Structure 1
Amino acid sequence: MTTRDFQDLLAANAEYQKDFGLTGFDGIARAGVAMITCMDSRIEPLEMIGLNTGDAKIIRTPGGRLTPDALIGCVLGVHLLGVERILVVPHTRCAMASGEDADIVARVADETGEDLSDLTIGASTDQRARLIEDVDLLRTHPHVGERALVGGFLYDVDSGALEQVL
C-alpha cells in the first residue's frame, strides 16, 4: 500500500477543504436525536428526517442493528451528547436481511474464498423481529430506557419513505 492508493480521495478532500464551513460544532446533538441505521450508501440519515449537520448523532452498522458499539454510542449519547430520542432504522432491500449469518458467510466464501464463520454478523431475514428486539433492548436498558424515547422505523430505499413500526 502506498499513499498513491488514496490519492484520488486526498485530492477530493483538498477541494472539500476550500469551502469547508462546518467549524465550531461542539458535538452535542442539537435536535436531541440519535439514529442507528445501516451503512448502506443509499441512506442519507440527516436528510431523511429534515435535520442538518450538528443536529443528530448517526451510528451506522451493517443492517442498522444495535451492536455492542452502537449501544455504547447510545449510552454516551443520552448521558453526554444531548440525545433525547433514538431512532433505530433498518431499510428495505438490505443485504443483511437477505439471509441468516450462515447464508452471508457462504456468500462471502463463494465470492472471495474467505471463511468468515468466526464472526457474528447479525443477519436475519426477519427484519421486523430484529427491529423489535433492538428497540426493546434500548427501551429497557438501565442506561438508556428512562433517559430517551426509542422508536423503530423502516426506511424504503426506493421511495424515501420512513415508516414507524414501533
Structure 2
Amino acid sequence: MTKRGLLKPDSVENNRRYFSDKSKVKLEIINVLKEMDCSLKEIKVLLEETDSIKTLKFLLKQKEEALEIQLAKQQEKLKQIQNLNYAISQNSEEPLSNVLKFNDISERMIEMKHFRRNIMISAGLVGIVQYGSIAASIIKHDLKPIGIAALFLLAYAAQG
C-alpha cells in the first residue's frame, strides 16, 4: 500500500517505518474498503477527494448494484442446479447427455414462471376492473360503469 501512495509512513528510522494514530485509522479505512471489493485505485481516489463522503456514497451504490446483479445470477444458477438435481434420481441410469434435456426443461420452467406471473397480474387487473364496475353500478344505480368496463375488457382481450 505504501508503493501505491495510499499510506505513507510519518517517519523512517533505521529502515523502520513509523505510523501515527491518524495513519492507523487510515489503514483501517483502507482495509474496510478492500473488504467491500474496492480496488486500490478507487480507494486512492476516495482518500484524495475533498468531498469523500459523497464519493464514497456513489462508490458504495455502484458496488451494491453490481453485487445485486451477481446475486441474482448466482440465485438463478442455484435454482438451475436444484432443478437438475431434483430431475435426476439417485439411481438414475440415464446417459450424461440427458443433462441437456434437463437444462432445457429447467429453462422452460423459468419461462413458465414468468408467464404465470404475467397471467396473474393480468387476471388481477381484469378482476379489479370487473368488480370495480359492478360496485360502481350498484352505488350509482346505473349500468353505464358495467358497459364501459365491458368495452375496456373486450379491447383488452382483443389485444392478447
TM-score (norm 1): 0.17
Where is the helix percentage greater, Structure 1 or Structure 2?
2
Greater relative contact order (Cα < 8 A, sep 6+): 1
Where is the strand percentage greater, Structure 1 or Structure 2?
1
